[in-house]
Amino acid sequence: MQSILTVIGTRPEAIKMAPVLLAMRGAAGIRSLLCVTGQHRHMLDGVLAEFGLEADFDLDIMRPGQDLTWITTAVLEGLRPILADTRPDWLLVHGDTTTAMAAAMAGFYAGVPIAHVEAGLRSHDLGRPWPEEMNRVVVDRMASLFFAPTAGARRNLLRERVESGRIAVTGNTAVDAVLAMRGRILADPALAARLEAALPALAPGRRIILVTGHRRENFGAPFAAICQALLRLAARGDVEVVYPVHLNPAVREPARRMLAGVPHIHLLPPLGYAGFTHLLMRASVVLTDSGGIQEEAPSLGKPVLVLREVTERPEAVKAGTAQLVGTDTVRIVAATNRLLDHPAPQRERANPYGDGQAAARILARLRQADQRATAAATSRAPARASAGVMLSAG
């Protein structure tokens, strides 16, 4: 029986790991355990409920005004006894969150081999996105098994001297999740009707601009410039701007101050995954600084304008499914107007991030995981433990 402990803490991690967790839950010979850190509390819990997932362990670390130091130390302390008690064969982490970085570090200290889903993404700029670029680089330095979503991510890992045999190109699990949820919505008219009824009253005949924004490097003046762009776009007279606002006060407060009450701008609380997928299906243009939406939208034929200067997901830009526009008001407005005034036929392009089978590939690779990687990672634990004793005694 192969024991796998998955650690997640945020809404995006829950969405992207749900297909993997569901695949492992039904797999013979695998004991799948789930630990949530609660880095995002309510947003995380809602997604788990939508996918029918329950945590075996809950660190419940979220605190008012929490910062990165608190998240890191709380995850390290919380995982230490869980790793000691469960002694998993693999610790599975996802992406670039502080939860993923701290969980990988806890596993590294405990001598547990780490498998990294969404490995190898790089912007090559530690400041953008911050701290996510640092987090994913650190996780990949500690990992033994790498699930790269694209060939480009694999090349990044090879340049960093990761052995090719430890890398599997799987596609991105975000595509698995969005295609599965779209299928549920299309197959269930009652569900689609409930999701539509939950939206605000949108003027008929107007196209929807879907907006998300939460990156730390965009806080302050860049976010204010984004809001100015939304004000100008709402004044076009033929669109509805729909913005599910992140709960972080650094996003929520300026969004309310600048955008609340403006005609044809709708500020919503964070949506469940079904509700967000339904809205994405209805949107004409997506403005976002999210990584996951750059992966999901191409499967639904939706053009994406990325509110960042650099992206660790260049495949979308190369494929023409996304365009970098940064946070300059004029650039955002001009690019959005071009898409609205000269729309390309909506079609489901070949998604550079996969075909919806990433979870199955990850499960297959875990089943045939290189035992030498497990043995090598485990053999390092006594040396680290001895060093710790010497340091504490000295």
Residue 216 bears catalytic tag: yes
How far apart, in whole angstroms, are the C-alpha atoms of residue 98 and residue 108?
Answer: 15
Reported as half-sphere exposure (CB side, CA atoms, 13 A), residue 328 has a value of 8
State how far the alpha carbon of 46 is from the alpha carbons of 41, 114, 167, in Å: 9, 27, 32
| Catalytic residue chosen out of the listed positions 122, 214, 215, 308 | 214
Residue 380 bears catalytic tag: no
Question: Quick check: 222 and 340 in contact, CB under 8 A?
Answer: no
How far apart, in whole angstroms, are the C-alpha atoms of residue 66 and residue 83?
Answer: 24
Residue 60 bears catalytic tag: no
| Catalytic residue chosen out of the listed positions 118, 133, 240, 315 | 118
Question: Quick check: 50 and 14 in contact, CB under 8 A?
Answer: no
| Catalytic residue chosen out of the listed positions 207, 216, 236, 338 | 216
How far apart, in whole angstroms, are the C-alpha atoms of residue 142 and residue 311?
Answer: 23
| Catalytic residue chosen out of the listed positions 89, 96, 217, 240 | 96
Residues found in the chain:
394
Reported as half-sphere exposure (CB side, CA atoms, 13 A), residue 390 has a value of 6
Residue 96 bears catalytic tag: yes
| Catalytic residue chosen out of the listed positions 246, 308, 313, 365 | 246
Question: Quick check: 185 and 277 in contact, CB under 8 A?
Answer: yes
Residue 264 bears catalytic tag: no
- For 301, list phi and psi in degrees, rounded to 5: 70, 30
Q: Packing angle between helix 98-110 and helix 132-142, nearest 10 degrees?
A: 20
Spatial CB neighbours of 5, under 8 Å, sequence gap ≥ 6: 33, 34, 35, 82, 83, 86, 88, 90, 91, 92, 112
Structure tokens at 107: 């596993």
Question: Quick check: 138 and 115 in contact, CB under 8 A?
Answer: no
Structure tokens at 363: 């499960």
Residue 252 bears catalytic tag: no
State how far the alpha carbon of 320 is from the alpha carbons of 341, 350, 394, in Å: 18, 11, 58
| Catalytic residue chosen out of the listed positions 13, 89, 132, 140 | 132
- For 167, list phi and psi in degrees, rounded to 5: -110, 130
Q: What is the DSSP secondary-structure string of 157-189?
A: HHHTT--GGGEEE---HHHHHHHHHHHHHHH-H
- Residues labelled catalytic: 96, 118, 132, 214, 216, 246
